[in-house]
Amino acid sequence: MAAQTVSRRSALKAAALVAAWSASPLRAAARAADAAQVSSKIEALIAAMTLDEKAGQLTLMPSAWGGSKAAGLNPPGNGQSFESQIENAVAGKLTGVFNGNGAVMAQRMQRAVMERSRLKIPLIFAADVIHGHRTIFPIPVGEAASFEPELAERTARAAAFEAAGAGIDWTFAPMVDIARDQRWGRVMEGAGEDVLIGRAFAAARVRGFQGHRLTDDDAMLACAKHFAAYGAAEAGLDYNTVDLSERTLREVYLPPFKAAFDAGAVSTMASFNEISGVPSTANHWLLTELLRNEWGFKGLVVSDYTGDEELILHGVARDGRDAARLAILAGTDMSMASNLYALHLPDLVRAGEVPLERVDEAVRRTLTIKSMLGLFDDPFRRIDPNREKYRSRRPAALALAREAGWKSIVMLKNEGDILPLAKSAKVAVIGPFAAGQHDLIGGWCVYGDDEQAIDLATGMRNAGGQITVTQGSGIEEPLEGGVEAAVAAARNAEVVVLSLGESQDMSGEAQSRVDIVVPPPQQALAEAVAAVGKPTVVVLRNGRALALAGAVRDAPAILVTWYLGSESGNAIADILYGKRSPSARLPISFPYASGQEPYYYDRKTTGRPQPAGERADYKAQFRTVPNAALFPFGHGLTYGKIGYGDFAAGDGKLAWDGALEVSALVVNSGKRAVDEVVQLYVHDKVASVTRPVRQLVAFRKVALAPGASQRVRFTIRRDALEFYGLADKPTVEPGEFKVWIAPSAQHDGASGSITLVR
């Protein structure tokens, strides 16, 4: 194949890519001169590469020597042996592998490539490091409940320290898909239903993974996924059709991606789904017109796992060759797992069906990413088996997992202040999650291990609690004699802790549910135990919001504990026994019933909103449940007694280019020090486009000592009131806005009105 000359235009493009990265606030130190030098190296490589080598640079495969659970998550690369995968890499047919087996695996592959390949282009090693590597942190939706993005930044930093120590350059995280249908299993992987929370956690996680400098040996490249609107699948059925207005796409689903890119993420993954008839992997409008031309994204787009090949089953590609053509032309730079680019790109270019410039552009982006990660300077910078061991599960990381754990626990109810428990109380811990090394770390842990996590019973014993343990039921099947044993245990105890919910593989990829309930055998167990009449605390384990019913819903105290990771049981015990006061808030609404899904707090009023009080006909409501959440977004109690009042907004006038302070007095009249998450919501009373009943525009965690009160202040500017207008661009309209400073999306809190004046 003919060698290419280095054109000035292409060199400038690579320089611009590096410079754009350097110009991001975190990368200010990288200099333009370096960028130009790097780009000319990259151009020289592109000029030296054959078409086959270029296609290989765009081909990422699952590691044939997968780490821990990798083989279960994704089948290893096309049935290849590790040895043949190494030979493929040496032959230039691979850009790298993902979900491999740590530093030893990476070392063997990288060494072979650096010693034996023609161009010695280092491999890149990727992995799904979603919520921790060896030390596992709460599932992302749980961590979002902390309403503390800085915490997510710290756990992502700790995950990068371990994972980069194990040879991983690139994480397929953060998952920034907004999730508004709790039937969808991948709710667990994101930051929930709200756009502001989604943006804040997306940016925080990118900062955490990428650290100070991408070249550091404890930094990983972040990949914001899945671009885009993957969470809007019809019926919450994973991979299903998405049909959205451009307004909703831009207002709800895209902002967390923009936030991730603004925070420095230079890779993104095309989603499996279609949007209004066009699968993302083949969506030129999405991947090129919007992402690149409108947003100026300079990074790399990787397909999802066989996402290009799936264009055939979507019915938009005739065969693998056609699928590769559509994907690369749309803007998918790198192909994951299908091998279609390696198989077909050279021929597509030779046949004139794909311009060589397009392939070069994708190769340039790939090589630039490798260069940003410092791989050309030192291909082994993250690969060191000793460092892998040393960095794994350090005490500081485990302490952070515990902190993230208790900060993620949401207390939904605490009637009669039955929590916290006295350590002297005789507690019957009942339920399938009471004890045992299972369902602790949650889904999407390639390298974590339930065996190394602390279960609930151990955590309660560690805290000095007096407990008995009775399983009572299986997760989805009854246990013979289980209910009887549980009832007997409850009778002999002073308090019951009922540990119920979903197994960790009931959520995650491809795990959609039609009924988002506590499985029936566990519900039956709860009913029988409730009949004993002892004070009962329900401790839920869950990867999504659940529709709680009967004895579970009616228990005096309920904790939402997700899957908290390595320190699960200790973190729950911290809350149960009052070492810590709960401070987390629901990032997803808990509906009354499954049939309300998709349900989210910032819905529209409709022309016939449900009136307060008795059910009235011809209103937007179900026959049996209110058009509301049982436990709304933002809800979560503390061990204090919190009141909101005395709303103030100055003269209530927000000048067009000005700022207006709104505030409320928040009082803790309880006996415990707490952290209260104070939330600011607005509603645009009249606009040219219908606006949500409420929208979160700011939040703040405030420490309140017993008896303390604090005036909590927020500053509102015009941009908080923006929406995607009739003219298909962001707009703000003057007028009156209702404002709430409140403890949840359904609480009145302290409220008033402001007027935006032009």
- Contact pick of 74, 110, 512, 744 for ligand BGC (by CB under 6 A): 74
Cβ closest to ligand BGC, residue 186 vs residue 513: 186
Q: How far is the CB of 128 from ligand BGC (least distance, A)?
A: 5
Cβ closest to ligand BGC, residue 19 vs residue 302: 302
DSSP annotation string for 664-703: EEEEE-SSS-EEEEEEEEEEESS-SS--BS-EEEEEEEEE
Spatial neighbors of 2 by CB under 8 A, at least 6 apart, are none
Q: How far is the CB of 199 from ligand BGC (least distance, A)?
A: 20
Cβ closest to ligand BGC, residue 305 vs residue 406: 305
DSSP annotation string for 217-261: TT--B--EEEETTGGG-GGG-TT--B---HHHIIIIISHHHHHHH
Is the distance from CB of 740 to CB of 695 less than 8 angstroms?
Answer: no
Site for ligand BGC in 480-519 (CB under 6 A): 509
Cβ closest to ligand BGC, residue 98 vs residue 631: 98
Spatial neighbors of 214 by CB under 8 A, at least 6 apart, are 21, 27, 221, 372, 373, 374
35 C-beta neighbours (distance < 10 Å), count = 22
Residue 77, both tokens: 């690369």
CA dihedral sign of residues 498, 504, 505, 508: positive
Residue 145, both tokens: 């409940």
Q: Which residue has the tokens 């009131």?
A: 721
DSSP annotation string for 488-524: HHHHT-SEEEEEEE--GGGSSTT---SS-S--HHHHH
Q: Is the peptide bond before 163 cis (omega within 30 degrees of 0)?
A: no
Query: Is there binding between residue 257 and ligand BGC (CB under 6 A)?
Result: no
Is the distance from CB of 608 to CB of 670 less than 8 angstroms?
Answer: no
From residue 472, alpha-carbon distances to 196, 290, 479 in Å are 41, 53, 7
Query: Is there binding between residue 225 and ligand BGC (CB under 6 A)?
Result: yes
From residue 591, alpha-carbon distances to 60, 86, 517, 735 in Å are 41, 51, 10, 32
Cβ closest to ligand BGC, residue 305 vs residue 740: 305
Q: How far is the CB of 618 from ligand BGC (least distance, A)?
A: 43
Site for ligand BGC in 569-628 (CB under 6 A): none
Task: State how far the Cα of 23 lies from the Cα of 476, in Å rounded to an integer.
Answer: 53
Query: Is there binding between residue 238 and ligand BGC (CB under 6 A)?
Result: no
Q: How far is the CB of 307 from ligand BGC (least distance, A)?
A: 8
State the amino acid at position 650 in one-letter form: G
Name the nearest CA neighbour of 561 among 618, 498, 647, 490.
498
Q: What 8-state DSSP symbol labels residue 193?
A: S
Residue number closest to ligand BGC, CB atom: 172
DSSP annotation string for 155-177: HHHHHHHHHHHBT--EE---B--
Cβ closest to ligand BGC, residue 239 vs residue 380: 239
Cβ closest to ligand BGC, residue 39 vs residue 512: 512
Task: State how far the Cα of 239 lies from the Cα of 306, in Å rounded to an integer.
Answer: 13
Task: State how far the Cα of 417 lies from the Cα of 401, in Å rounded to an integer.
Answer: 27
Is the distance from CB of 664 to CB of 647 less than 8 angstroms?
Answer: yes
Residue 546, both tokens: 């659940």
Task: State how far the Cα of 479 lies from the Cα of 432, in Å rounded to an integer.
Answer: 10
- Contact pick of 172, 184, 201, 563 for ligand BGC (by CB under 6 A): 172
Query: Is there binding between residue 261 and ligand BGC (CB under 6 A)?
Result: no
- Contact pick of 305, 562, 644, 681 for ligand BGC (by CB under 6 A): 305
Pairing type for strands 709-717 and 659-668 reads antiparallel
Cβ closest to ligand BGC, residue 172 vs residue 184: 172
Q: How far is the CB of 333 from ligand BGC (least distance, A)?
A: 16
Active site positions, annotated: 304
Is the distance from CB of 549 to CB of 517 less than 8 angstroms?
Answer: yes
CA-angle at 106, arms to 103 and 107, nearest 5°: 80
From residue 659, alpha-carbon distances to 633, 655, 696, 741, 758 in Å are 27, 7, 17, 17, 13
Cβ closest to ligand BGC, residue 384 vs residue 509: 509
Spatial neighbors of 55 by CB under 8 A, at least 6 apart, are 93, 341, 342, 343, 344, 345, 346, 359
Cβ closest to ligand BGC, residue 209 vs residue 647: 209
User: How many residues in the shown chain lie near ligand BGC by CB under 6 A?
Assistant: 9
Q: How far is the CB of 99 from ligand BGC (least distance, A)?
A: 6
Cβ closest to ligand BGC, residue 61 vs residue 252: 61
Cβ closest to ligand BGC, residue 222 vs residue 430: 222
Is the distance from CB of 714 to CB of 684 less than 8 angstroms?
Answer: no
Query: Is there binding between residue 304 and ligand BGC (CB under 6 A)?
Result: yes
Task: State how far the Cα of 346 lies from the Cα of 325, in Å rounded to an integer.
Answer: 11
Task: State how far the Cα of 734 lies from the Cα of 736, in Å rounded to an integer.
Answer: 7
- Residue 329 CB burial class (10 angstroms; 0-12, 13-18, ≥19): middle
Q: Pattern of binders to ligand BGC over 623-662, x per CB under 6 A?
A: ----------------------------------------
Q: How far is the CB of 225 from ligand BGC (least distance, A)?
A: 6
Q: Pattern of binders to ligand BGC over 105-134, x per CB under 6 A?
A: -----------------------x------
Task: State how far the Cα of 71 lies from the Cα of 53, in Å rounded to an integer.
Answer: 27
Q: How far is the CB of 127 from ligand BGC (least distance, A)?
A: 8
Cβ closest to ligand BGC, residue 74 vs residue 470: 74
Q: How far is the CB of 185 from ligand BGC (least distance, A)?
A: 11
Q: Is the peptide bond before 379 cis (omega within 30 degrees of 0)?
A: no
Where on the chain is the footprint of ligand BGC (CB under 6 A)?
73-74, 99, 128, 172, 225, 304-305, 509
